[in-house]
Amino acid sequence: MKNVEQPLDPVEYRFWLPPEGLTLTTGPDNEEIDVPQILLPLHVKDLETSPTPSEKMIGEGIYDYLRRFPDCPKADEYASIIKSAYPFYVADLGSQIIMLEMKEVDPLYIRRKINMLKILALIDPENFELLQKIGIAYFELSLIYTELINIRRELGDARFWFEKARRLKTEDIGNLNYLAQICYFSGAYPQAKLYWRIITDKLEKSDSKTELLGRIERIENNQVPPQPLIEYLESIGIAMEHYHVEQYPEACIIMERLEEEGSLLREMPNPEFFYFLGLCREKTEELAGAFESFNKTLELDPQHQAAQEALDRILDANEGAS
């Protein structure tokens, strides 16, 4: 994304202008690296300790700041300093990304991974795989139910990075498929069809090709949702906002309307839809409906522990009332 102004946390960071001619040493031969005359973000505690920060303090300040604000002004220059003078931080980024990818899908971890990938992309801007990985991370983030209130922004960010990757490999099948899905979610059906047509022309006969040809045919026959899927998904995000502030009837109305309309569930059956619907019904004391929703959750995902616990909770409540 474009560089944006970031609020500087005065408790944690302060900008420092290095003196002219300052160099940093790196490598076994102590090679000298010129420091550009730009404001550098350093930890306040380090500047309070010494008005002339050490090389270690400079590296830590820039690295920690970039991990929080990889889209900040001068980010490319900060990344260049890290690459030239502190290459061990680049290795650290790689190892942390691997660790985060081993964790369960969680918005906090995905956002951390995105920030780290962005730093690597600043260092290696022509790396197709890096750019695509950032797009995939944003795409995954956008479809997590707790994040659906931000789906337009997250899908927009995903498209930005997939488009950047596409400039390096114009007809990569995986990249085009993600772009097609984003277009389909957004209601840009002709563009989605174009991407899927490019993909199917490259694929040998397979189940994947058959599925994509089916999608193309449905678009051509106007067998698409009456509203773009992004609007239905955003409605779930709004329902979750109501739920979080204990406006349970309002949340339940939205979810039941989506269930009745049915387009989202036909296109994207998801156990989390029915689990959240069950929670809404439980909070509004529609226990029979809640029980049905939790059962549907388990039909789609028999290992959904939270739904099983919810069913047990309702059964216990009924037994207690008997």
Number of domains in the chain: 2
Quick one: pLDDT at residue 320?
A: 59
Average of per-residue pLDDT across 105-118: 91
We report the CATH number of the domain holding residue 274 as 1.25.40.10
pLDDT at residue 105 is higher than 80: no
The pLDDT of residue 124 is above 80? yes
Q: How confident is the model at residue 316 (pLDDT cuts 50, 70, 90)?
A: confident
9: pLDDT strictly greater than 70: no
Q: Is 69 part of any domain?
A: yes
104: pLDDT strictly greater than 70: no
* Residue 300 domain flag: yes
Please, which pLDDT band fits residue 321 given cuts at 50, 70 and 90? Answer: low
- Does a structural domain hold residue 225? no
Residue 99 has pLDDT above 90, yes or no: no
169-184: pLDDT as tens digits: 998 999 999 999 999 9
* Chosen domain end from 61, 85, 109: 85
Is the pLDDT confidence value at 42 over 90?
Answer: yes
- Average pLDDT on 106-126 reads 94
Domain that holds residue 31: 13-85
The half-sphere exposure of 37 on its side-chain side, counting CA atoms within 13 A, is 3
Decide which of 37, 63, 85 is a domain's last residue. Answer: 85
Asked if residue 149 belongs to a domain, the reply is no
With respect to residue 168, please indicate whether it lies within any of the assigned structural domains.
no
**pLDDT the model gives residue 279:** 97
Mean pLDDT of 95-101: 85
Q: Report if residue 23 sits inside a domain.
A: yes
Q: Give a yes or no: residue 155 inside a domain.
A: no
Q: Specify if 231 maps to a domain.
A: no
* Residue at a domain's end among 85, 106, 131: 85
Cα–Cα dist 292/298, whole Å? 10
